[in-house]
Structure 1
Amino acid sequence: MAAEKATTKHKYVYGFAEGNKDLKDLLGGKGANLAEMTNLGLPVPPGFIITTEACKAYLATGAEPDGLAEQVATHLAALESAMGKRLGDPADPLLVSVRSGAKFSMPGMMETVLNVGLNDESVAGLARQASDGGPGSGDRFAWDSYRRLIQMFGKTVCDVPGEEFEHALDDAKRAKGTTNDLDLDADDLRALVGAYKKIFAKHTGREFPQPPREQLDLAVRAVFESWNAERAVLYRRQERIPADLGTAVNIVAMVFGNLGPDSGTGVAFTRDPATGNQGIYGDYLANAQGEDVVAGIRNTVPLQELERIDKRSYDELLRNMATLEGHYRDLCDIEFTIERGKLWMLQTRVGKRTAAAAFNIANHLVDEGMIDLDEALHRVNGAQLAQLMFPRFDLSGSPEVVTTGVGASPGAAVGRVVFTSARAVELAGQGERVILVRRETNPDDLPGMIAAQGILTARGGKTSHAAVVARGMGKTCLCGADNLDVDVKAGRFTVGGHVVNEGDIVSIDGTSGCLYLGEVPVRPSEVVQYFEGSVDPATSTDPLVVAVHRIIGHADEVRRLRVRTNADTGEDAARARRFGAEGIGLCRTEHMFLGDRRELVERLILARTESERNEALDALLPLQRADFVEIFREMDGLPVTVRLIDPPLHEFLPSLEELAVHVAVAQERGEDPGKDQALLAAVRRMHEQNPMLGLRGVRLGLVIPGLFAMQVRAITEAAAQLVAEGRDPRPEIMVPLVGAVQELETVRVEAEKIISEVTREHAVEVLIGTMIEVPRAALTAGQIAEAAEFFSFGTNDLTQMAWGFSRDDVEGAFFWRYLELGIFGISPFESLDRDGVGRLVRIAVDEGRAARPGLKIGVCGEHGGDPESVHFFHEVGLDYVSCSPFRVPVARLEAGRAVIESSGSDSR
């Protein structure tokens, strides 16, 4: 019976020879790769791995799982046998490192303890072991190792303030008259160990633990607990790493690079992680331990110098690097130590790299026959491509950062400060580059936002109006700039003691969120020039352009999802088409009612009779028709989905507060308020407590006679005109905010009459569908599909209504707290909430196609350009995604990656 229990006991500890690189979920990235190097026959110090399952069990219960202590003892005995030493042996001690190692690399986020096994007795044995023959020659090394253990153990395991150890070290150097740690001799370090022990006892209420096994067990627990440390949680949230993975713990025999000039430590990359170029890249530091390299105590030398210092180790290292790159078929990041001429491989992993290096390396490896194009596509992502498309600042001149905010839309923008939309348009028309500075933006600012190089606001975040619109235009935007005081009337803003007046030049970085005074040099993106067509990949000498062209071309070959764009003007449509858009998935007609057309909308709203209303509609009709002619011409032969007017009409009127002030001032002066009086009455009449849930979308078309009819006629007449010109317009009319099939049926009846009338001479196929943005529409999609020829998910509003959030209000109010608490890993307005909103999408797709097989379904919310969301839309079977012109290449790439990464990949 006992034997049976022993065989069924859970396995929490693995020797290196028992693992491999495919066991990262269980052994963590570091442990799995140590196991892989061991099995490749590379010189790895012996050790073993405590699994992530042990960590999860510990975090769940607060205690080590049953059997862990015995399994550690078994593997520790095997390690001692392999090394010919015992942990903490006073005569010849085995020392070990205790390191974290999660599935995904989290550099510096969790804990490490080195030199575990040293105590008051074994320090003398270590000194003898480290001696090179001269009396006391190993003393300095041994006592330095002991002080490092107490310092790391105290800070990591027992929460002793690290600065207290630093102060004691500074005091020791000051007493010695030096600023260099290496000038402290064995006696100095022996005294420092005594000082460290006192600090440890003061803060913990106990002496530094002497039993080596107690040190080991406490260090393991500290690594487990560091999984939930604040910095680790924050890093996982930023990198979207799941919180339930846990970390493995790697216990490895210590090897020392600080035993003399024939020892050292270094980091090597098999290719340049900045550019992807082949070559020898890395740093080496003689007579040092790994933490010395990180701490910058001494300057490293280029890795090539190792050839002169220790050619035998250098040649062996290059052979090992070639082995690892060939085995992993990727850039490898390697840590190594040389102990008295013996090379040890301490760690390898697939190396982190810049976006440019990611594309270049993938392309190079295809050329070298190491991977195919499917794998190359898998190795890069849309976020990296987006980085390559934005212009960048050249910071070599170290410009001063005066404040930071939310980098809401990436890029680098330089221009003269302006505070009004009109001024932005005026100066831009004169050829000036401008930065529009506002407390916050609103729809009236759109012309100025279009004219500006970038937008800077004192309020808001990543889902504010400024951010959403800027991202849609591919425009640089910095929101919520800290301590930015904007005085529009005075034409200036103040920040950090600086006063910036209209006309002064500033530079904003929409990636880092930094604001600079004056002009910072900008480097244009070669990748955007390629997408714009000004760089020919067939003749380009830029390897990055060649790589992007090749990989995104393969994505286009394998992807199933089509990619459309959100565009409201012919100019946007033309640019999106150059970027590879296969149609327009969202043309927002409300944007056509701004500027000098606003007066016509006011006339429509103020109309008291049918005649007045028809006059306003008749005036709007040719303007709308001209808009659609321009857009259809640019998208000739491709579908264009036109959304009928969606927002509440009062958004086209001045604000209630502003009008009330104007009227009151006029009356106080005895003047006639005139038109303002009528506008104020209209605004009050139309005022709603929650306008986003009020009279908008399809409700406007049902309540305001002739409004939708005018738009349908303008769309159809524009298409008929282009057919007469021999072109191929493909209009799709989208009715917004439908919640019941009867709403759509009512609009459809009127629309079909108009379409039939207009197309008698010139046949035009006009599809009529709806935007699924109300939860009820998703839940009754089967009914709605009977009256709709297509669905397009408006995931922005669907997210608002599913969560009960007002996007314009909640981010600044409490989203930061939700992110901090881990309720959100990322804002549901940035990446689709699969569990909630995603389920509504699935229901609508399944029920819609069950009622109407072959129903065309797409998405036109901002999520259509979000890489993770694109994968979901591929998974649920949408036909297309639609996004801003600038995001079209990103969506194309991710649509291809979705095929490669889906189970049973369609392309393989």
Structure 2
Amino acid sequence: MQKLMPIEDFTEVTQTAKIDRQAHGWRAKCLQRLIRLDLPVPKTVAIPAATVRAIAAGHPIDCKAILSYFGDDALVSVRPSPANPDWGGPATILNVGHNKARHDALVKRHGAQAANAISLRFIQSYATHVARLDPDMFEAKDPSPDAIRDALRVYALEMDEEFPEDPARQLADVLRSMARAWEGTTARLLRQAKGAPLEAPLGLVVQAMAQGMGQGISGSGVMQFVDPVTGQPQITGRYLGQGQGRDALKTAKALYLTRDPRGSSLEDIAPEIFATLIRHGAACRAKLREEMQIEFTIEDGHLAVLDAVRVQRSARASLRIAVALASDGVISAEEAVLRVEPRALSEMLHSQVDPRGPRDVVARGIAASPGAATGRIVFSSAAAQASASRGEACILVRRETAPEDIRGMHSAAAVLTERGGMTSHAAVIARGLGLPCVVGANLRLDPRDKRIHAEGRSFGEGDLITIDGTTGQVLAGAAEMLAPALDEHFQTLLGWADQFRDIGIRANADTPADAATARKFAAQGIGLCRTEHMFFEEDRLVVMREMIFADVSEDRAAALARLLPMQRADFVQLFEIMAGLPVCIRLFDPPLHEFLPHDREGMRELAEALDKPLSEVTRRVEALAEFNPMLGMRGVRLGVVLPEIYDMQAQAIFEATVEVARRGAAVVPEVMIPLVSAKREVELVKARIDAVAANVKIKAGREFDYKLGVMVETPRAALRAGEIAQHAAFLSFGTNDLTQMTYGLSRDDAGRFMNIYVQQGVFPEDPFHILDVEGVGELLLIGAERGRKTRPDLTLSICGEHGGNPESIEFCRRAGFDYVSCSPYRVPLARLAAAHLALNDRSMQAQTGHKIL
């Protein structure tokens, strides 16, 4: 006979008992805190994780000793108490200890109907969760004596024994069942999916039952004091008279807590108890420093608080709650900042599909850019522009997008593509524009018939769909939406974050609209302005093509002279919007073929526009085609071979600087040379830009300053940063192309196999999504070290897609970079992530006494 475990292996939960969260679980610790707040918590016993493991291994526990804490004839509940509430746990079992004698006593105390309901519920719960019998065999809902007899008969037939009457036996079976369920393979896998360690501990709590049934006011309910979706102060919850447990509240008979025009409520039935619950909620908020949901039971007018759990909440509710707690002095501003996950901010920057509404999902893909939008399907950029001109929201659907789709993306409410990954053209541009985007969707696009086919359903041009870029879902029709949450709570939290972070945050902004968005999100300047995006506007594209078809330098300069005032106006707008904040302008980068049509019809239209033979247009398009354009005639190579382009852009920048200065705003533009590989490239471009600056100063009769820097995108530039820094005031690492060239991967094509590579451990993460600190990161460190060795005051930054990733920001902080730059809609995330990193370092430094950075 096995020896019973000693009584020390379970502890009554009192104000002074030694209850530890790791040993006894979060629920046991929370109940102790409620007891310390003098809330009416029923008597509770906590069983630590070590004892639970022993029970699972077959060691018996003295259940009579546990039950002795509760007195004769008591009924108890058993609840799971893991160290973390998010890990879940086995189902709660109510009314343990119930038998015929208890039934008879309940009949006298609460009446036959209540006693029968308790009996049937316990038999059903015990049979399905402890004996593991099929719940369909115990379906009876009417708590009649016949239903109870049938349930007991079925149990006896299936188990070859009568239903246990001994309370100690019942409790032992319940404890063993819950302990072994926690140790099961399925439960372990589910916990691991939620981030729990393999050997996550489970405690159990045994609590005296508050029946929720009786002659007077009796029932069960849950109450919380904020809306879980918005975070606004609001009493919500349900109450069911003559009911037990949370499951009972799912019935349609459950009432709302506050006065409701549809019927009575707890506030109407028991106003004093309702007021007491509000006081208890306020006490929990103040002392537990959190918005809690209270589970309660009323028995014959007596209130019992069974549990309190952290209110489940959306990201927007989490932010509002954290700010409200800090504003009320319940928590510090530092803690409020740390309570909000940076990546969760994307939910607040855009409209979102309301989680409370229905969803008709027709396709799924990669959630490439957060937010949601409803619109009518269009299949071309021209159709998107036409839709926008009519004031109609549209969804641009493409097999995959290309640079010429920029205008259509600007006009669309969202983007959906059949192909692509997180770093495809559609994904990158959509994130920069703040457009909801789903890429790589499981649909088939038929461009000839202008239809998409997905999971047996078909949609044509003009059909209404909703794109949820946060979840990667495509929904039929118009979904219910939540507006962006850029309110005072959002601004307050990010204002606090700015006080704590120690690295600059700029935005990548290609247009005045982008710059306005960057200012709205409090970016500290523009870290990358890609000027080529300005040339895709219809009137500019024609002039750009004329320049491309010019045969001599003079003709190219003449065409570019027509673009000069347009560029100058763009830069004037940028400088004025940024109001003295730094603006880093990257000179022209893409290969020229991107500005030319690729199909026969487009070439014919271009021939008509330029008044040239179609054969000549075709020859020029073919001549400009490259086998590998991303490694071809682009970036600084264009500036060396066709210097008129950079001359025009430099003149536009400097003339805009003068114009804005005359209006009273001081501007020091930062001019950045892209795709540099050699010091000589910088020397050649710098000489011409300095000459342009001198000419503008003479003509304007006004002095101005500017900075010239280099965009480090090639491994060689990183390795030769020491000599390149001789001619550069700053180095900005373009991690998109630098990753491509370091790995020898195309970011547009790598999505075809990247998931397999990550799954098989070839790469720990997609290097286009999370910065590769080992390979690409080493090039950044080499470039930074060699550049600053030559020029100690050299400004360092990154401006690729990685600039908005918390992991990349952490790397840049530790490497001593001055700032990161990311798309405007990732600026809030970057600001908050930088604050998290600084605060965590401060906390670690306080614990160790050593400076982290």
Q: TM-score, normalised by structure 1?
A: 0.74
In the alignment, which of 295, 299, 302 is matched to residue 335 of structure 1? 295
In the alignment, which of 300, 304, 312 is matched to residue 254 of structure 2? 300
Residue of structure 1 equivalent to 2:410: 450
- Identical residues among aligned pairs (%): 36
In the alignment, which of 567, 571, 593 is matched to residue 509 of structure 2? 567
Residue of structure 2 equivalent to 1:391: 351
Counterpart code for 1:474: G
Q: Does 1:105 align with 2:105?
A: no
Cα distance per residue 1:243-288 (max 9 Å; x no partner): 5475331211144455733664332214443444445432223444
Higher alpha-carbon deviation: 637-646 or 214-223: 214-223
Cα distance per residue 1:289-320 (max 9 Å; x no partner): 435247x3453223455567677866664444
Residue of structure 1 equivalent to 2:149: 187
Cα distance per residue 1:200-229 (max 9 Å; x no partner): xxxxxxxxx989657645632432446865
**Hey, what's the Cα distance between the residues in 2 that align with 1:256 and 1:168?**
26
Residue of structure 2 equivalent to 1:879: 818
**Hey, what's the Cα distance between the residues in 2 that align with 1:303 and 1:75?**
41
**Hey, what's the Cα distance between the residues in 2 that align with 1:904 and 1:357?**
26
SS at 2:449 equivalent: coil
SS at 1:807 equivalent: coil
Maintained 8 Å contact 1:25/1:245: no
| Aligned pairs for 1:326-405 within 5 A | 326-337=286-297, 344-380=304-340, 382-383=342-343, 385-392=345-352, 402-405=362-365
In the alignment, which of 444, 447, 467 is matched to residue 488 of structure 1? 447
Maintained 8 Å contact 1:131/1:137: yes
Maintained 8 Å contact 1:98/1:249: no
Gaps of 5+ in 1: 1-10, 56-63, 86-91, 156-163, 174-178, 200-208, 237-241, 529-544, 667-671
What's the CA shift for 1:566?
1.6
What's the CA shift for 1:811?
3.4
Residue of structure 2 equivalent to 1:82: 69
Residue of structure 2 equivalent to 1:860: 799
Residue of structure 2 equivalent to 1:168: 137
SS at 2:236 equivalent: strand
Q: Does 1:502 align with 2:461?
A: yes
Residue of structure 2 equivalent to 1:36: 33
Counterpart code for 2:136: H
In the alignment, which of 428, 435, 438 is matched to residue 398 of structure 2? 438
Maintained 8 Å contact 2:511/2:570: yes
**Hey, what's the Cα distance between the residues in 2 that align with 1:522 and 1:84?**
54
Are residues 844 and 310 of structure 1, via their aligned partners in 2, closer, same or farther at CA, if it must alter by over 3 Å? farther
Residue of structure 1 equivalent to 2:671: 733
**Hey, what's the Cα distance between the residues in 2 that align with 1:635 and 1:652?**
29
Maintained 8 Å contact 2:369/2:438: yes
**Hey, what's the Cα distance between the residues in 1 that align with 2:10 and 2:129?**
24
Q: Does 1:149 align with 2:102?
A: no
Are residues 149 and 605 of structure 1, via their aligned partners in 2, closer, same or farther at CA, if it must alter by over 3 Å? farther
What's the CA shift for 1:148?
1.6
Q: Does 1:792 align with 2:735?
A: no
**Hey, what's the Cα distance between the residues in 2 that align with 1:80 and 1:745?**
86
SS at 1:322 equivalent: helix
What's the CA shift for 1:337?
4.3
SS at 1:99 equivalent: strand
Q: TM-score, normalised by structure 2?
A: 0.79
Q: Does 1:250 align with 2:203?
A: yes
What's the CA shift for 1:548?
3.5
What's the CA shift for 1:786?
4.7
Are residues 879 and 12 of structure 1, via their aligned partners in 2, closer, same or farther at CA, if it must alter by over 3 Å? farther
Higher alpha-carbon deviation: 574-583 or 515-524: 515-524
Are residues 82 and 316 of structure 1, via their aligned partners in 2, closer, same or farther at CA, if it must alter by over 3 Å? farther
Maintained 8 Å contact 2:28/2:205: no
What's the CA shift for 1:116?
11
Cα distance per residue 1:47-100 (max 9 Å; x no partner): 33545x999xxxxxxxx6xx8989997897874553458xxxxxx698663525
Maintained 8 Å contact 2:376/2:394: yes
**Hey, what's the Cα distance between the residues in 2 that align with 1:21 and 1:461?**
52
Are residues 33 and 474 of structure 1, via their aligned partners in 2, closer, same or farther at CA, if it must alter by over 3 Å? same
SS at 2:247 equivalent: helix
Maintained 8 Å contact 1:660/1:680: no
| Aligned pairs for 1:226-625 within 5 A | 229-234=188-193, 236=194, 242=195, 244=197, 247-256=200-209, 260-261=213-214, 264-278=219-233, 280-293=235-248, 296-297=250-251, 299-303=253-257, 305-306=265-266, 317-337=277-297, 344-380=304-340, 382-383=342-343, 385-392=345-352, 402-483=362-443, 485-494=444-453, 500-513=459-472, 515=474, 525=484, 545-596=487-538, 597-598=540-541, 624-625=567-568
**Hey, what's the Cα distance between the residues in 2 that align with 1:300 and 1:835?**
57
Residue of structure 2 equivalent to 1:638: 581
Maintained 8 Å contact 1:98/1:251: yes
Are residues 877 and 355 of structure 1, via their aligned partners in 2, closer, same or farther at CA, if it must alter by over 3 Å? same
Cα distance per residue 1:484-534 (max 9 Å; x no partner): x43333344455666544345444444455555555676754x55xxxxxx
Higher alpha-carbon deviation: 627-636 or 744-753: 744-753
**Hey, what's the Cα distance between the residues in 2 that align with 1:44 and 1:850?**
69
Counterpart code for 2:510: D
What's the CA shift for 1:405?
4.5
Residue of structure 2 equivalent to 1:8: none
Gaps of 5+ in 2: 1-7, 162-167, 259-264, 608-612, 847-853
Higher alpha-carbon deviation: 243-252 or 468-477: 243-252
Maintained 8 Å contact 2:503/2:813: yes
**Hey, what's the Cα distance between the residues in 2 that align with 1:804 and 1:72?**
59
Paired positions, count:
813
| Aligned pairs for 1:767-778 within 5 A | 767-774=707-714
Residue of structure 2 equivalent to 1:161: none
In the alignment, which of 741, 747, 750 is matched to residue 807 of structure 1? 747
Higher alpha-carbon deviation: 343-352 or 14-23: 14-23
